Amino acid sequence: MSHHAFREPGDPLELEVDWIVVGSGAGGASAAVALARGGARVAVVEAGAWRDPEHYPSSAYGGARDLMPAFGGLATAGRAQWPVVQGEAVGGTTVINSAICVRTPGDVFVRWAAEHGVGGGPMAERIGAIQDALEVELHASRATGRAVGRSDVLALRGAAALGYDSHPTRRFVEDCAGSGQCLQGCRAGRKQSLNLNFIPETLERGGVVLSCAPVARIVLEGNRAAGVRGRFRHPRTRRAGASFQVRARHGVFVAASAIQSPLLLRRSGIRNRSLGRQFHAHPGTGLFGWYDDPVDMHIGATQGWSSLAHRDTGGFKLESLSIPLELVAGRLKGGGAVLAERLEDFRHLAMWVMAVKAESVGSIHPGPLGPLVRYTLDRADMVKMRTAAVLLAQTHFAAGARWVIPGIHGLPYKIDADALHTIEDAPLDPRAWVAVLSHLFGGCPMGADPARSVCDGEGRVHGHQGLWIADASQIPTNLGVNPQHTIMALARLRAETALSRATP
């Protein structure tokens, strides 16, 4: 087992392997283990630290400090400044996500083929077979027992009363303890974040992991990716440590996320007009329902209820979301004694959210303080968000909520069922909404035409050898479903293709 964590300045670390994988999240860890299973020696180079479940933080504050880049401070530069949430740790965003497992819908492959000349039936078939295997390996199962909290039971009841389809959520979790803490890492070790399975397996198969090791550049020899280099970075103080240089006999997989992969390619000297383009997301926000009896949304799975009933017709997905008191405080209006009094309602609140299948397109650029994410929802997408908000409020009322707290600027703090029209008439200006981006796509989009894409339908960067994209940045459209399953399957497909092409 070979894991290199932060190193004090001094002698550089130098290694040579068959393949390098930059980033260890949904895409990176999946590519790495597939390469290792194929007999290759793999180095996973990850900017974040390695943390085991017993070292996960026990607060949302600690989650931002220990498991997210820049303290979770990245926000969109657009009409509204909405947080862009990502993980930074061995395991990437899978450490802080809810592990919701949804297969890639068939229409996605059809759209990729029609609009980007890649994908189609053959890819759908191969991704489907890989997803079958991933579901077994990562214990995909529907929430049951302790994982279905009262918030989820109420949501199921409300949806049934309104006549739309919804279910306890299917997730990559084995025997959930219902602690509602997925977003700061599952301290019970039940969630199948990829630092607990694919990364250790990569090590057992002779691989090596560098953590606290942000890659500064991909080393190019002519048009061939020959390695990576950078300096170790202290996980707390962020000070620079020793330098590292890893050489790759066969090539480099880039899986540093939709935000970071295009920036890494750009600063490595790769010139392509599509770098940082075709950025998509599923922005979302939530509404609280206030119930007479305690809901205790912190008991149960973090996201134990979901509905895909409106994906195709309304352009959104609905989910429950349990958030801790400190994040609730950030969502309720007011300060001082007013806020303290409102927080006393915590046990009576249930939060349900929407993820909008947004068609608005943004772009990623290097900025003075880090990534610059230009992104604004257009009117059509804002209508979807508002329609979803109305439906969430109706679902709360159908489940017995006395009030709904919409959290939309210009609306009353709380409304009853007779005031539903205030949400129906809510402003469509994004600045009135407190949304978050957590499902991110594009930046290194795949496509058949090198003038409109960064990589081809197999994930190879146009015009380069041994350089592959294996994360969400290759996805050229939204999906309308939670993306981890699609990203993992695409990454495994890329790795298997690369192995079949590599010369011994």
177, 188 contact by CB (below 8 A) = yes
The residue range among 199-207, 379-387, 404-412, 480-488 that interacts with ligand FAD, by the rule CB under 6 A, is 480-488
180 touches ligand SF4 by CB under 6 A: yes
Tokens of 236: 């707390």
Instruction: State which residue, 301 or 391, has the beta carbon closest to ligand FAD.
Output: 301
Burial of 448 (0-12, 13-18, 19+ CB in 10 A): middle
Query: In 316-425, which residue ranges form alpha helices assigned H by DSSP?
Result: 325-331, 336-343, 379-398, 421-424
Indicate whether 179 belongs to the interface with ligand SF4 (CB under 6 A). yes
Restricting to residues 415-444, name those near ligand SF4 by CB under 6 A.
Answer: none
Task: Tell me, residue by residue from 296 to 335, as one string, x for binding to ligand SF4 by CB under 6 A and - for no binding.
Answer: -----xx---------------------------------
3-state SS class at 76 = strand
Binding mask of the shown chain, residues 186 to 225, with x at each position contacting ligand FAD by CB under 6 A: ----------------------------xx----------
Least distance to ligand SF4 from the beta carbon of 189, Å?
A: 8
Contact call for residue 46 and ligand FAD (CB under 6 A) = yes
List the x/- string, 131-170, binding to ligand FAD by CB under 6 A: ----------------------------------------
- In single-letter form, the type of residue at position 370 comes to G
**Which residue in the set 15, 24, 33, 301 belongs to the binding site for ligand FAD (CB under 6 A)?**
24
Q: Residues 69, 168, 178, 284: which binds ligand SF4 (CB under 6 A)?
A: 178
| Site membership for ligand SF4, residue 28 (CB under 6 A) | no
Identify the residue whose tokens are 């085991």. 52
User: With CB under 6 A as the contact rule, which of the stretches 117-125, 180-188, 249-257, 449-457 interacts with ligand SF4?
Assistant: 180-188
**By CB under 6 A, is residue 181 in contact with ligand SF4?**
yes
H runs (alpha helix) in 9-146: 26-37, 60-67, 106-116, 120-137
**Which runs of consecutive H residues, i.e. helices, occur in 332-483?**
336-343, 379-398, 421-424
Judged by CB under 6 A, how many residues of this single chain contact ligand FAD? 42
Question: CA 286, CA 291: separation in Å to the nearest integer?
Answer: 16
What is the b/e burial string over 23-60, where b = at least 16 CB atoms within 10 angstroms of the residue's CB? bbbbbbbbbbbbbbbbebbbbbbbbbbbbebeebbeeb
If you ran DSSP here, which 8-state letter would residue 312 be given?
T
What does DSSP assign to residue 311? T
Is residue 190 within the footprint of ligand SF4 (CB under 6 A)?
yes
Q: Which residue has the tokens 């993992």?
A: 488
Q: Which is nearer to ligand FAD, 202 or 438 (CB)?
A: 438
Q: At what angle do helices 484-501 and 26-37 cross, to 10 degrees?
A: 30
Q: Phi, psi (5° rounding) for residue 37? A: -65, -30
Listed residue (215, 281, 214, 262) closest to 461, CA to CA:
262
Single out the residue of 17, 74, 100, 415 in contact with ligand FAD (rule: CB under 6 A): 100
Residue type, 438: S
Is 448 a residue that touches ligand SF4 (CB under 6 A)? no
Answer yes or no whether residue 87 interacts with ligand FAD by CB under 6 A. Answer: yes
Task: Tell me the closest approach of the beta carbon of residue 60 to ligand SF4, in angstroms.
Answer: 13
* Smallest separation (angstroms) from ligand FAD to the CB of 485: 6
Find the binder of ligand FAD among 63, 72, 92, 442 (CB under 6 A). Answer: 92
Question: Among 494, 485, 481, 500, which residue's Cα sits nearest to residue 455?
Answer: 494
How far apart are CB 117 and ligand FAD at their closest, in Å? 22
Q: How far is the CB of 178 from ligand SF4 (least distance, A)?
A: 6
**Which of 399, 155, 197, 402 lies closest to 286 in space, CA to CA?**
155
Residue closest to ligand FAD when measured from CB atoms: 25
Q: Pick from ligand FAD, ligand SF4, none: which does 186 bind, CB < 5 to 8 A by kind?
A: ligand SF4
Give the number of other CB atoms < 10 A from CB of residue 239.
Answer: 12
Residue 166 engages ligand SF4 in binding (rule: CB under 6 A): no
Shortest spacing between CB 131 and ligand FAD, in angstroms: 12
3-class SS at 220? strand
Residues that bind ligand SF4 (CB under 6 A): 173, 176-182, 186, 188, 190-191, 301-302
Which residues form the interface with ligand FAD (CB under 6 A)? 22-28, 45-48, 85-89, 92-94, 96-100, 183, 214-215, 255-258, 260, 264, 438-439, 471-472, 482-485, 487
